[in-house]
Amino acid sequence: MDPDFRPGALYFPKGAGHRKSLNNTWTHSFSYPSESHVQALAPPSVPALAPHRVRRPGGALAAAAQPAEEARTPGADEPKTLEPVVVRARLADEAPREVPFSVNVIGGQEMEERRLFSVEEALWQIPGVEMNSNGGDSWNANVRIRGVGALQKVSGEDASVGLTVDGQPMLVNNMSSQAFDLERVEVLKGPQGTLLGNYSEAGAINVITAKPTRHFEGYVRSEIGTDRQRMAEGAISGPLSETLSARLALRGTASDHWVHDWQTGAVVSTPRDTGVRGTLLWQPLATTKLTLTAQHDSLRGHPNIFALHPYGDPVAVDRGTTPWTNDSRSVDRVGATLEHDLGFALLTSVTGYVKADTWMMNIPYEGHQYRRLIGMAPEDGGYFVMRNGEGTTSQELRLSSRPGDRVFWVAGLNWLRHQRDVDMPFGAFDHFYPTNYTNGTMLRRLESTSRAVFGEATFPVAERLKLTTGLRHTWDRKRQRASWQAVPGNDGPIRYAEDNHALRDHYTTGRLGLGWALDAQTHLYAMASRGYKSGGYNDYGTNVTLGGRDAPYAAARVNALEIGAKHESADGRFGLNAALFESRGKGDHMLFFDVMTFGMYAENVDTRSRGLELSGFWKPAAGLTLDAALAYTDAKITGVAATSTSGAAAGNRVPDSPKWSGSIGVQHRMPLASFMGWQSPAWSTRLGLRFASSRAGDPQNQFTLPGYHQVDLRTGVSGGKTELYLWVKNLTDKRYDSFGYYYPAMVEGGPDAVMGLPVRGRTVGVGFAYYF
C-alpha cells in the first residue's frame, strides 16, 4: 500500500486519474484501498462495495442498476483495472445504492458510442425526462422531470431542472453546449433544492468532465456521414511536474440542416459547433488539490424553425425574401475547485463564472403558415433580431464527511449572481403589421442575487435503517429594467416607455427520507421532498410597450414523494431498480402567446403527477449485456386561475409528457482471431431503442403529438490502439416531432394550424479512433 494513504484522506497517488484503455474502454487508474480497507471503511450497517468488481456507468438506467462490465484489456493475462461506480448526487462521492432517490447515469463512453454530442441529446434518451425544444432553439428549451416543472418557460431563469458542470451551476439553457471528453452525466430525479438550489424543483443534471491524469494519455477520433456530417475530437493528458497535471480536449462538428428553404431549395443552415476545454490539476499535498477549468463553446447555424404540420418531404419553411442571418451562440466557462482534507471533514470551495451570448433572427410570418391561416403571406414581412446575453457568478463553500465515515453529512454556504440581457437592439421592422411592438428597440436587463445556507445528513438509527434529513434556506433578490423605443414607420401612439421593478423572496426547501438495507445487494428507500422556484420577470413581457408594467410572475412550489428499491446481484450480472412517485405542484408557470397581437403573458397553474419507473440490466453470457427502462407518468393540470384567458383547464394533460416512455439496449462483444497485425481484436455492437407514447402538444390540449420510436446502431472492430466502426442514427427513419405549437384560426370560420419541427431522419456514417 502507498505509505501516504490514510482512510478518509483525499488520496491521489501517482497514476491516479481517469483514462481510456487502448481498446476504447473508460477506466479509472485510481488506486483504491484493498478489500480489507474497503470493509474497514464501511459503517457496520452498510454493506461495503464489492472490492474487485469492474464496473462503469452506462445506459439510461438508474445508476444503482448499472451493469458491471469486464475490463477489456489488450491481453488476457494482464490484470484487470478496477472501476467502482460512484455518483456525486449529493455533492460527494457515494455508491449509487446509498443515494435515497432515483439517479440515472450515462457514461462518457456511452455518450461517444451513441453520438450524443450535448447534454440535451443525452436527456432525450432518459425515460421520465421531458423536453420541448421550442423551435429547435435549445437555449430556450423547456425541461421537466416526471411531469414537474414549468408548462411553458416564462424566462431564462424559469428553469425547473438545475444544471451543474463539475459542481458549477449553469442555467439549463446551456445544455446545448458541447459535451465532450466526459466522465459521466447524472440525472437526479425529484426536487433537489436542498443541495442544488432553486432551479431544481423537478430534478437536476450533474455533468462531470474527464480530469487530468498522472500518466501520459490521449486519443483522436473522427467521423463522417450522410447530410455532410463531420466530427473531429481529441484529448491529451499527462503530468507537467511532480505536482501539476493538465488535460486539453476539443471537438468540432458540422453538418447540413435537415430543413430546407422553400424559396431556394437549399438547406436553411449549415450548423458548425466547436468546443475546447483546458484543465489544470495541482496537488501540492496528498490531502489538497486545486482544479482549474476553462471551456469555450461556439454554436452556429441553429435557427429557430416552425414548420407547418403535416411536414413535406423534405421538410421546408418559407421565410420569404428577407436575407437570413445565421444564428450564433457562445458559452464561456471558468471554474476553480479547491478540496482539502481537514482531518475531521473535507473542505470544498467551488468558484465559477459563466458567460453566454446568443444572437437569433426571427421571421414573424412563415409563408406556409399564413397562407393556411389567412390565405396569403407577405413576400417580405420583415424580421427581428434578438440578443440574449447572460453572466453567472457563483461561490460555494462547504464541509462534508470523509469517505467511510459512519454518518454522511454536508453543510455549506452558497452565493450566486445572475445578470441577463434580453434585447431587440436593431429596431427591426414588421412590414405587415406596422404597429406591432416588434417595430421598436427593446432593451431589457434582469438581475438576480441568491444567498443560501444548507445542510443534509444521513445517519444510522438501527442496524440496517438510515435516516436522511436536509434543509436549505434561500434569500433571493430580483430586479427588472426595461425600455422600449418605437422606430420610424411605427405610427402607434406610444413612442417611448420604461419599466423598473424589484422583488424579494426567501424560502425553505428540504427533504426527509428513510433507507433500509434489506441485505447486501438490496436497498429500499422512501423520500419526501419540497421544491421551490421563486418568481421573476417575463423575458418577453409586452405590457411595457403599451406604457404599462410587466408584473412579476408568482413563485412555484412542489411537494414530492418517492418510494423505491435498488438491487444488484452479488456477481454483478443482474440489477433492477423500481420507484413509485407522486408530485403536486402549486403555481407553476405558463407563457400565453396571443397570436393576434403577438403579446406574451404569464399565468400560474397547479399540477399533479404520479407514476412508476423500472430499470434494469442482465448479463446472460460473457460479452452480452441487455438493459431496459420503462416509465409511466400520469401528469395533469389540477387548477387554473378563474381569471385565466389562456384556455388551459383543470383535467388537461401536462404538455410534452408521454404516459409511457422507455428504452431497450443490447450490447455484444465478441473476441476475434488476430488479423492484419491487430492485437486482441474484438467485434462490438450496440443496438438501442428509445420509445414514447403520444403526448399533449400544449396546455390547452388542442392537439396531440403522436408517439414515436427511434433505433440507433453502432458496430465496429477494435484492437490494439485503434477502432473502426459504422454508425446509424434513426435506423427506421422515423421523423417524430420534437415540439409543437398551435395557432387558432385568424379569420372567422377559417382553418387553424399546428407548427412544429421533426427530428433528423436516418443518417449513416463511419468513424475511426486512435488511443495512445
pLDDT number for residue 137: 62
Straight-line distance from the first to the last Cα atom of the chain, in angstroms, rounded to the nearest whole number: 28
Q: Chain-wide mean pLDDT for the chain?
A: 85
DSSP 36: H
Amino acid identity for residue 244 in this structure? L
Question: Which backbone phi and psi does 698 adopt, to 5 degrees?
Answer: -155, 170
* Cα Dmax for the chain: 84
- Dist CA 648 CA 644 (whole Å): 8
Q: Which residue has the higher pLDDT, 359 or 630?
A: 630
Average pLDDT of span 679-701: 94
- Dist CA 166 CA 246 (whole Å): 16
pLDDT number for residue 70: 39
Contact by Cβ (8 Å): 551, 513? no
pLDDT number for residue 693: 96
- Dist CA 222 CA 770 (whole Å): 9
Average pLDDT of span 139-151: 86
Q: Is the pLDDT score of 345 beyond 90?
A: yes
Q: Is the pLDDT score of 31 beyond 60?
A: no
Question: Which backbone phi and psi does 195 adopt, to 5 degrees?
Answer: -110, -20
pLDDT (tens digit per residue) in 612-657: 999 999 999 999 999 999 999 999 999 998 888 888 999 999 999 9
Q: Which residue has the higher pLDDT, 725 or 47?
A: 725
| 3-class secondary structure, 396 | strand
Q: Grade residue 84 by pLDDT with cuts at 50, 70 and 90.
A: low
pLDDT number for residue 386: 83
- Dist CA 715 CA 726 (whole Å): 5
Q: Grade residue 590 by pLDDT with cuts at 50, 70 and 90.
A: confident
Cell of 722: 485503434
DSSP 650: T
pLDDT (tens digit per residue) in 485-505: 888 888 888 889 999 999 999
Average pLDDT of span 95-104: 89
Q: Grade residue 331 by pLDDT with cuts at 50, 70 and 90.
A: very high
Exposure string of 108-129, with b = 16+ CB inside 10 Å and e = fewer, is: bbbbbbbbbbbbbbbbbbbbbb
- Dist CA 617 CA 664 (whole Å): 10
Q: Is the pLDDT score of 423 beyond 70?
A: yes
Length of the chain: 772
Q: Grade residue 136 by pLDDT with cuts at 50, 70 and 90.
A: low
Q: Which residue has the higher pLDDT, 182 or 432?
A: 182
Q: Is the pLDDT score of 35 beyond 50?
A: no
Q: Is the pLDDT score of 574 beyond 90?
A: yes
For cell 467511510, what's the residue?
Answer: 404
Which residues are bridge partners to 356 per DSSP?
331, 390
Q: Is the pLDDT score of 13 beyond 50?
A: no
Residues 6+ apart with CB under 8 A from 505: 475, 476, 478, 534, 535, 555
C-alpha distances in angstroms, 23 versus 461, 670, 681, 716? 46, 13, 9, 12
Q: Judge if the upstream peptide bond of residue 310 is cis by omega within 30 degrees of 0.
A: yes
DSSP 594: -
- Dist CA 337 CA 396 (whole Å): 10
pLDDT number for residue 30: 29
Q: How many CA atoms lie within 13 A of 403 on its CB side?
A: 24
Least confident of 527-531, 553-557, 589-593: 589-593
Amino acid identity for residue 271 in this structure? P
Q: What percent of the chain has pLDDT over 70?
A: 86
Residues 6+ apart with CB under 8 A from 356: 139, 171, 173, 174, 329, 330, 331, 332, 388, 389, 390, 391
Contact by Cβ (8 Å): 457, 412? no
Amino acid identity for residue 556 in this structure? A
- Dist CA 398 CA 413 (whole Å): 6
Would you put residue 220 in left (φ > 0), alpha (ψ -120 to 50) or beta?
Answer: beta
pLDDT (tens digit per residue) in 261-306: 998 999 999 999 999 999 999 999 999 999 999 999 999 998 888 8
- Dist CA 633 CA 708 (whole Å): 16
Average pLDDT of span 516-533: 95
Q: Is the pLDDT score of 249 beyond 90?
A: yes
Q: Is the pLDDT score of 251 beyond 70?
A: yes
Nearest partner of 743 among 735, 732, 755, 734, judged by Cα: 755
DSSP letters, 716-730, are: EEEETTEEEEEEEES
| 3-class secondary structure, 560 | strand
C-alpha distances in angstroms, 150 versus 153, 344, 379, 624, 712? 6, 42, 36, 41, 31
Contact by Cβ (8 Å): 424, 384? yes
- Dist CA 593 CA 633 (whole Å): 27
- The total of other beta-carbon atoms located within 10 Å of residue 530's CB is 20
Q: What percent of the chain has pLDDT over 90?
A: 60
- 18-400+408-771 sits in which CATH class? mainly beta
Amino acid identity for residue 405 in this structure? D
Q: Is the pLDDT score of 39 beyond 50?
A: no
pLDDT number for residue 177: 75
pLDDT number for residue 751: 94
Q: Grade residue 594 by pLDDT with cuts at 50, 70 and 90.
A: low
Helical (H) or strand (E) element with 207 = strand 203-209
Cell of 724: 473502426
DSSP strands (E only) in 534-573: 556-568
